[in-house]
Chains A and B, each alone.
Chain A
Amino acid sequence: MTCEEALLLLSGHLDHENTPEEEIALQAHLSDCGTCRRVLQELTAMEQELTELETPPEDLTENVMKMITEEAAKGKKRRTYRWAGLITAAALALAIGVGTLGLPGEAAQTTGNVPAPACMVQPAVASAPAEFALEDDGIAVQSETEPDAQALADSRQADIAVLRQTVPELEGCPYETLEDGSLLYTLPENDGAVELSRLYGAELYRPADGGAQNGALALVVPD
């Protein structure tokens, strides 16, 4: 055994990862090699320093908890906005429906948020309240999905392509239903999510910039 080969076993010895045969071979080498005996001694001394844990700054937990609380509050607010958007949309639909039936006035007034009696489709949509416009322009929807999809990618250690509807490539792939009703498909190929992003312009979320990866997923979030 060369000293270089012995280093592999010395290190394995420190980690208790050698096989019994490797231990015997190492011992035989050490009985003949003073240099490696010294190396073992130095590695052992180094190990004591290496395994020592450091103490994090005192305010670490506090800072993280503050971030989490803020994020949770923001999430709640976003959901409220989304609700507001949906209610307004329903109100608009109602107003438009009523408008086309030729009955303006009352229905529109009860919604509060919808300005002016909506007699015509176009003007009513154009004057939709701000939060509805925000929800409907696609950007707000994206920012709603973003932290979740990234968290999912980090948690599952996989690339994720986010789609608004199913595509033929997903047919036959195993999937699970998430609590919000989105469908999470497991793709057969590791570069599947990248491919869906290329084909359909799906937003792509990755656990780390080219880091370790355990496969690819597709998240279908219906509009």
Chain B
Amino acid sequence: MTEEQTLIRRVQGGDHEAFAHLMSRYEKQVYTLCLRMSGHEEDARDLTQEAFLKAWRGLRFYQFEASFSTWLYRLTSNVCIDFLRKQKRQNTVSMTLENEEGETEEQELPDPAALPEEQTIQREQKRLLYGAIQTLDGEFRLALTLRAVEQLSYEEIGEILNLKPGTVKSRIARARGKLRKILAEHGNFFCTASSNQEEGRDAL
């Protein structure tokens, strides 16, 4: 039995401290997933708390049939999907439109000039990226985040989203393509990267 499985057994026996240990292993991943999905720190914090509370309640019934990380990310994904749906219902009169592929239409990114001067280029890049991610449709955003942040395989993501691995692959590719396009059009995200244009080939 792995150390993690031992921790889970202890949690199933009602051990709070074991749950705190388990949380400390996954809090960054869960929080980052929630932040990417909600786009706001306050919401991400609430969603992370909700996900862990649900995990605590649900662990009693966890049967080790899926790996714990996949189980936890699936639970967190559902919390995030629920949140986005509720948000969408609340904003039915907003101007957000969906095209035929289910992606939300591109929105103007916040004006970079509004940022305080002391913020670094790195922070600016991150802000641009987060803004761009928010323009993706929720399910595309989720597939890409589960891959990039949680490092799950296409198969594992397919299990979570009830999709075939091939569909996961195309969703992630389209999400990446769209992000790249937005970032190339807005701001100077790729400025530092474009100084060594031929490096792309070496990466293969």
Once the chains bind, are A15 and B147 in contact (CB under 8 Å)? Answer: yes
User: Which label, helix, strand, loop or mixed, suits the secondary structure of the A interface?
Assistant: helix
Flag the segment in A59-67, A94-102, A134-142 that touches B: A59-67
Q: Which of B38-86 contact A (CB under 8 A)?
A: 41, 44-45, 48-49, 52-54, 56-62, 71, 74-75, 77-79, 81-82, 85-86
A11 to B44, CA, bound (A): 27
A154 to B49, CA, bound (A): 15
Once the chains bind, are A151 and B23 in contact (CB under 8 Å)? Answer: no
A174 at the B interface (CB under 8 A): no
Extra pairs beyond A40-B201, A68-B16 (20, CB < 8 Å): A7-B176, A8-B173, A10-B173, A12-B169, A26-B204, A41-B197, A41-B200, A42-B180, A45-B190, A46-B189, A50-B129, A53-B32, A56-B31, A57-B45, A60-B45, A64-B52, A72-B16, A151-B57, A209-B82, A212-B74
Query: Which B residues lie at the A interface, using CB under 8 A?
Result: 14, 16, 19-20, 23-24, 27-32, 35, 41, 44-45, 48-49, 52-54, 56-62, 71, 74-75, 77-79, 81-82, 85-86, 125-126, 129, 144, 147-149, 151, 153-154, 160-162, 169-170, 172-174, 176-177, 179-180, 183-184, 189-190, 192-194, 196-201, 203-204
Query: Which A residues lie at the B interface, using CB under 8 A?
Result: 7-8, 10-15, 17, 23, 26-27, 30-31, 37-47, 49-57, 60-61, 63-65, 67-69, 71-72, 147-148, 150-152, 154-157, 207-213
